[in-house]
Amino acid sequence: MFFCYTTSTTILLLLLFLLSWCENLPHKLVKFTPVQLDKTYGKLYKHNQCHYMLKHLQDGEQISVQMPPDIAGRWVSESCEVRSGPEFLTRSYHFFSNHTFQALQFYYRDNHCTKPSYTLLIEGSLHPRQASWLVRGGTESDHSLPVAKDLQVKLEMSCGLTENLEPELIYELWVEGSDRDCTHGLDFSMQELQLLRVERRFRPSETDRQAEELFVGDVHTEHTQRRNYRPIGYQPPLQNVKTYDNSCIACQIISVGDLHHPPVLPSRTDHPLRLYGNWVSKRCEVRPGVLFLTRHFVFHKDSNIWEGHYYHYSDPVCRHPTFSISAKGHYSPGIPSTKVIGGTEYTFTVTQMKVTPMDVATTSLLNVFSGDECGKHGSWKLGVQQDVTPTSGCAALGIRLPHTEYELFYMGQDSAGHHLLFNGQRPTNGSSPDQPSRRATSYQPPLIHCSSGQKGVGKEGNHHFRLSNRWNTQPQYLVYTLIWVTLFFSVI
């Protein structure tokens, strides 16, 4: 259901990333021809709330990003977060103007963060450096951790720690220069601080108000890989305590928590999982491997048929589309997860798929691949969708049909009461959850429920997509690009 991109995809995406030089070329080399989304989608946006919400992600908010980011201040989680394992936690990070920081990570025994288990206090220094060459829009940084402390009720004696651990006492787990390191037993790492991004969001209706969000690097889904992992994605954003929405109750509670008084979020009951309907991304999402995308899922009533529409972009605010994928298939009835509290397990199968190239570079690259393993060879046209079901998927994108994945879902609500749908986080190593043992134990960014005002939802695949070809490279420069691509494939 939620595709895994194999080596060939990595090559394709690498090429797309390198070809993004077009956006930075002088105006003499590139012709900018903006296309309005509502015009390209025709009347769909006027009658379909889901498409309107996706369009709103592109031009409904003004987003500014500082490079390097100004992270001074205090930042807190906006909800109970789930890491692979599973681990349930909230975070409160305080960065000072002298480049030092104090980070509090509060861990819990339940998925609503109502039963505190232990707390980590991490102190160190942080220096933002240059723009990341791995994740566009992010900033790389250097950090050091001279001290790490832990408040924990249950910690096995795995590092020569002989004292009996008692609740509400502080234990020193690691000091820089010391031979003893007890953080291995916790799979502890602060590699997340190697990648930073701060977004300031301005809404047209609230020009005098802005919201600030801090994104830090993602945490590897495999615990054994966390200590040496270099982030290539982000965790859920932290909210600036000075600008968060007053309706965020979790933000208020977490902001007053400390080492001795972990925040306890309000107790809630899990919402019954009803997949039926339409669900779309709340923001431009980032995936490991230089992937930026938005998603639209459709679950049909009175059947186990689903549709998934994935819109990929070359930039971190999802304004320059590269290609889209429309998939369809079926799924099994859900059963409660015995591993992840509140989660529901499903098995999804993809049986049909269509691909639409949305920029010149992607169209050219799809035509470069030889053979008929991704539609008819040489037949790809800009903005024209092609059914790749007859070719059993698309080898260029690393997708084979039929394809089965073992999924995890969870339903929640945001501070405004909107229904949210979470599905399993993709493995950091790029593999596919194609076996029950590989099923996710944490979640991707949530989708928000929307409604469709027309019958046959999801039929956006029946017309030519032209989300926007915001730049058209002149033919002579496209020739140079194709020569480069040909040379690249001749040596791999």
Nearest to 103 by CA among 128, 138, 72, 74: 74
Other Cβ atoms within 10 Å of 303 Cβ, number: 10
Residue 45 has pLDDT above 70, yes or no: no
Higher local confidence (pLDDT), 409 or 62: 409
Q: What is the mean pLDDT of residues 349-355?
A: 97
Distance CA 198, CA 379 (A): 42
Residue 343 has pLDDT above 70, yes or no: yes
pLDDT score of 107: 95
Q: What is the mean pLDDT of residues 177-184?
A: 64
| Contact between 303 and 277 (Cβ < 8 Å) | no
**First-residue to last-residue Cα distance in the chain:** 29
Distance CA 450, CA 50 (A): 5
Distance CA 381, CA 469 (A): 13
Higher local confidence (pLDDT), 457 or 64: 64
Higher local confidence (pLDDT), 213 or 65: 213
Share of the chain above pLDDT 70, in %: 71
CA distances from 251 to 108, 415, 491 (A): 17, 10, 52
Q: Is the dihedral of CA 150, 156, 162, 166 positive or negative?
A: positive
Determine the number of helices (DSSP H) and then strands (DSSP E) in the chain. 7, 26
| Contact between 248 and 213 (Cβ < 8 Å) | no
Other Cβ atoms within 10 Å of 2 Cβ, number: 21
Q: Across all residues in the chain, what is the average pLDDT? A: 79
Distance CA 97, CA 228 (A): 28
| Contact between 247 and 270 (Cβ < 8 Å) | no
- Read off the pLDDT of residues 245-296 as tens digits, 9 standing for 90 and up: 888 999 999 999 999 999 999 998 887 888 999 999 999 998 876 689 999 9
Distance CA 347, CA 334 (A): 8
Distance CA 222, CA 7 (A): 20
Place of tokens 């480069």: 484
pLDDT score of 397: 84
Q: How many residues does the chain have?
A: 492
Where does the pLDDT of residue 44 fall: very low under 50, low under 70, confident under 90, or very high at 90 and above? very low
Min mean pLDDT across 103-117, 137-151, 364-378 is at 137-151
Residue 464 has pLDDT above 90, yes or no: no
Q: Say whether 186 sits in a helix, a strand or coil.
A: helix
| Contact between 150 and 159 (Cβ < 8 Å) | no
